[in-house]
Structures are given as structure tokens and as C-alpha cells.
Structure 1
Amino acid sequence: MTRTPPTTATRVRLWRWRRNPLRRHSDVVEGWIVLAAWLFTLVGGALAGTVAAQITDAAFAARAARAHAVSAVLTDDAAKTPATAGGYDDGRVPATVRWTDPDGSVHTGRTQIYPAAPAGTPVAVWADRAGHLVSEPVTGEAASVQAALTGALVAVPAGAAVWTVGWVVRSRLVRRRMAEWDEEWRQIGPEWGNLSGGRG
């Protein structure tokens, strides 16, 4: 069985990096742009994702530092059924609670609890330094997971943005090279036709 010799249409790998009479300066520049686009896409995306994850984690830590858990009690009986206002509903109802700080100051605020709880029921809530109720801060493994997800969500579009810039620059180089080829063909084409006619 004979092997078919390679045709001229066979793709040559890394041809922009090899010396040959057909390679132009723009081909080398294009090769460097493609390489830089890949590197910056990977490195830039990873760096943006890491920074975003660190910022998110720091925000969670700062929020947790400003809040503290307090033991409060219901001031009135909670509603027996939650209001059906549509959207997200975890089955809880709004209620007023009261708590006392270590310095003796008394605070009240509104929070969400489960229905039908009687007045005087102890409720664990979170408050800031000014005595306002806040949502429970995200800490521990939940904070780490959310920070990692944020980093991943930022890394993908950041890498895509870098790759898009490289693709635009490369496209302009390709159009410029095609324009140069057209111009050269306009200069050489007539002479090529004369040579072909002379051979006939």
C-alpha cells in the first residue's frame, strides 16, 4: 500500500515562527498578538477572579465585624399566617422584637420570624453597633463558597474581554495584510498576464 504524499494544502504548525520567504513582518506580529492574547486571557482572567474573590471575602469579614448576635423577645404575638405578596416567601412573618444591650440601653426593631409565636418568645437576631437590626452575616464555609463563586463569575468575562481585544487587533492586521496583497497583485498581475501570454 502506497502512502499518499502530503499536498500543498497541508497545514503547517507554527508557520509564523519559522523562517520562510513568504513570511512577512505582519505575520510575526500576528503570531505574537495571538500568543499574548492567550496568555493575558488566562493570566488576566485568573487575576481578576482572585482579586474579586478576595474583595468579596473582605466585604463579608467587614460586615461580620460590624454585627453581633443578640437575644431578643417578641413584643407582640406574631401573625398566624404569612402575607402572600408574591415573589420569594420563606413562610416567615414580620414582627417587632426588643432587646437590651450590655450597657442597659433598650432597642426595638422589626425582623422576620415563623408564624404564631406568642409574645415573649426569645428570638436570636443580629444588630449593628448603632443598635439597628441587620441580616445575619455570611461567615465560614458559606462565605468562602460565595467568594469563590464571585471570583469564577468575574474571571470568565474578564478573560473574554481580553481575548476580544486581541481578536479585534488581529482582525485589523488580517484586513491590512489582505489590502497589501491586493495592492501587490494590482502591481504584479498585469506583468504576470504578459508573461503567461508570452509563453503561449
Structure 2
Amino acid sequence: MVRAEPPEPEPDDLPRLLLWRLRSNPLRRRADAAQGWIAVGLAAGVLAAVPVVTVLAGKAAHRHYEERARHQAATRHAVPAVLLRDAPRHPEPGSDEAAKALYTVQVRFTDPRGHLRTGRADVPPSLPAGSTVPVWLDAGGEPTGPPLTPEQVRNHSLGCALVAALSVPLGGAAVYRVAGRRIERRNLAGWDTAWARTAPGWTISP
């Protein structure tokens, strides 16, 4: 048995299909038109807001991370530390992964007050015990990470801008969903009211 398939819509029909709520027809309700215009307004608002929000968020994030990098550079400093044990060997020596790998080992260093202390530091693989590596300390002499680099500042800023850009259409979709649900509840309430007026005429008295 051959089943007839509906014809594929022509390219010129797609805009009308997408905006069917705005087309004039006897079955269109005010709620349909309102929901259609809400969709059009939100789409226009999202398209206009995305570049603005992206730029503003990116600039604000860049200022924030630049200030953090300056603060870290002013309050952190590196001191030499000695490995207390051999760093683990990488399973693939000489590979690109090995060149980027770091292993956490115990080290000994002297804090700004002159006290000999031990801590943990991330070091390249295969370093033997007794090797000297730099360890970053904060203002209180506690081990910490190095200050943010310009590349890290740029990457963090781009990440914040991307998140802000994605949040705009997600917010628009959430608003449209909430509006759609409210319109649907209003339609259902209207149908209940209309049926309450119509039902008596359809009821057959015994």
C-alpha cells in the first residue's frame, strides 16, 4: 500500500509557516496574534541585545581580570623550592602531552619570614629529588598559583562574553515560554467560561 506524503513546503512558504500566528484567518484568535507578536518582539530584541551584551560583558570581564592580574602580580612572588622526591615519569616521554604535563610533588622552601617550610608544587615529569623549581607564594607566605597571564585574561574575558551572549537567547526563550503558558491558561479559562454558557443549551432534560 502506497501512503501519500504531504508535499514539501516551498521556500517561499516558510516565512508564512513560521509566522502562522500573525496570518489573518477566521480561526485566528487574539491570543494567537498576541503570541505571534511576542515571538517577533523577542526575536528582534534578542538580535539587538546579543552584540551589545557581548561587548559590555567582555569589557567588564576584561577589566575585572586585568585588575586581578595586577593585584596578583603585586602580592605574589616566586621563591626557589627543592623537590623532596622524584617526580613521576610520564608514560609517553617526549610526546606533546608530556611537554604539557605537570605532577604534584612535595617540596621544601623558605618563606618570606625565613622559616623553612614544606608544601606541594606542580612540576614537570621525571624531575629528580633535589631539583630546584620556582614556587609562587601569596602575601601571607602560602603556596599559590602564578599571576594571571595576558593570555589567561583574554581567554577568561572571551569566556564571559560567550556566556553572556548565550544567556540572551536563552532568556528570550524562557520569557516566550512563560508568556505562552500564561496565554494558554487564559485560553483554557476562556473556554471554560464559554462552555459554561453553552452547556445548558446542549443538555437534554430528562
Residue 65 of structure 1: how far off its partner (Å): 1.3
Find the counterpart in structure 2 of residue 129 from structure 1.
139
Distance 2:70 2:144 in 1: 10
AA partner of residue 109 (structure 2): R
Q: State whether structure 2 residue 43 is matched by structure 1 residue 38.
A: yes
- Shift in alpha-carbon separation, 1:23–1:178, aligned structure 2, 3 A: same
- 2:117 aligns to what SS in structure 1? strand
Residue 94 of structure 1: how far off its partner (Å): 0.8
- Shift in alpha-carbon separation, 1:162–1:19, aligned structure 2, 3 A: closer
1:108 to 110, 117, 123: 117
- 1:129 aligns to what SS in structure 2? coil
Identity, in percent, stands at 19
- Shift in alpha-carbon separation, 1:137–1:161, aligned structure 2, 3 A: same
- 2:85 aligns to what SS in structure 1? coil
CA displacement 1:9-50 (0-9 Å, x = unmatched): x94997877999987654553344223322443426862784
Q: TM-score, normalised by structure 1?
A: 0.57
Q: TM-score, normalised by structure 2?
A: 0.56
Distance 2:81 2:175 in 1: 58
Give ranges in structure 1 of 5+ residues lacking alignment. 1-9, 191-200
Alignment of structure 1 residues 1-200 onto 2, 5 Å: 11=16, 26=31, 29-42=34-47, 43=49, 47=53, 50-51=56-57, 54-55=60-61, 58-59=64-65, 61-62=67-68, 65-66=71-72, 67-74=75-82, 77-81=84-88, 90-99=101-110, 101=112, 105-106=114-115, 108-110=117-119, 111-114=121-124, 115-119=126-130, 121-173=131-183, 176=186, 183=194
- 1:131 aligns to what SS in structure 2? coil
Distance 2:149 2:102 in 1: 24
Distance 1:22 1:80 in 2: 76
Q: Select the structure with the greater relative contact order (CA < 8 A; seq sep ≥ 6).
A: 1
Larger radius of gyration: 1
- Shift in alpha-carbon separation, 1:172–1:123, aligned structure 2, 3 A: same
Distance 2:30 2:84 in 1: 81
- 8 A Cα contact 2:53 2:164, kept in partner: no
Residue 134 of structure 1: how far off its partner (Å): 0.5
Distance 2:163 2:116 in 1: 40
Distance 1:178 1:20 in 2: 21
- 8 A Cα contact 1:73 1:97, kept in partner: yes
- Shift in alpha-carbon separation, 1:123–1:80, aligned structure 2, 3 A: closer
**Aligned length in residues:** 170
AA partner of residue 97 (structure 1): R
AA partner of residue 62 (structure 1): R
Distance 2:70 2:85 in 1: 28
